[in-house]
Amino acid sequence: MKKTGALIIGGSAGSLDVLLKVLPQINRHLDFPIIIVIHRKQGADSLLTDLLTHRTNLKVKEADEKEAIRDGYIYIAPSDYHLLVEKNFTFSLDYSEKVNYSRPSIDVTFQSASDVYGPSVVCLLLSGSNADGVNGLIFAKRNGGITLAQDPSSAQVAYMPEQAILKANVSEVLKIEEMANYINSLSTNN
């Protein structure tokens, strides 16, 4: 099995509930980082980080400019900034125009991570009400990455994963209760 470079999880409306169910079951010895991009209102930064910190054994932090990306961490995209992965495996924060009415944009992070990690990237798109992330999934798949979508029947807002399935030809569709085992299976530390 090839080593997973990074797992990027994107979501919007209804995705936080999924994360709160899945993250407590994630193996604390992951040998790759998890990068989470969620559409949210500005100013709720520390609340989200604190909430997720109390639900997982992994270290959770908001991504900082020029920060080195480390295995076994969960990074959260700051509100109102696009989060990019740079060739030297650091983060870059970008305040350019919104993409799909969103900043951070899931597409931006999926694409930049796919550029850097290539076929070792895994991108998962969760519940949400717009198509942000779909183009990023298409890009990741073209680069040889694994693309995943939440089963729309389990999503609070099915539009985002439905669009992923319709347009991005995702590698696999996962029910919420399957996600933690799938993520844990990506680690060579099991």
- Tens of pLDDT, residue by residue over 105-153, are 999 999 999 999 999 999 999 999 999 999 999 999 999 999 999 999 9
The pLDDT of residue 43 is above 70 = no
Single pTM value for the model:
0.96
- Tens of pLDDT, residue by residue over 68-112, are 999 999 999 999 999 999 999 999 999 999 998 899 999 999 999
pLDDT at 48: 83
Euclidean distance between CA atoms 106 and 33, whole angstroms: 16
Given 12, 120, 127, 154, which residue is catalytic?
Answer: 12
Say if residues 103 and 78 touch (Cβ distance below 8 Å).
Answer: no
Using alpha carbons only, give the angle 182, 93, 150 rounded to the nearest 5 degrees.
25
132 classed as catalytic:
yes
Given 39, 82, 107, 127, which residue is catalytic?
Answer: 39
Q: Which helix (H) or strand (E) holds 7?
A: strand 6-11
The percentage of the chain sitting over the pLDDT mark of 70, rounded to a whole number, equals 96
The percentage of the chain sitting over the pLDDT mark of 90, rounded to a whole number, equals 85
Say if residues 138 and 173 touch (Cβ distance below 8 Å).
Answer: no
pLDDT at 47: 81
Given 120, 127, 132, 154, which residue is catalytic?
Answer: 132
Average pLDDT, the chain: 94
3-state class (DSSP) for residue 113: helix
The pLDDT of residue 44 is above 60 = no
39 classed as catalytic:
yes
pLDDT at 13: 93
29 classed as catalytic:
no
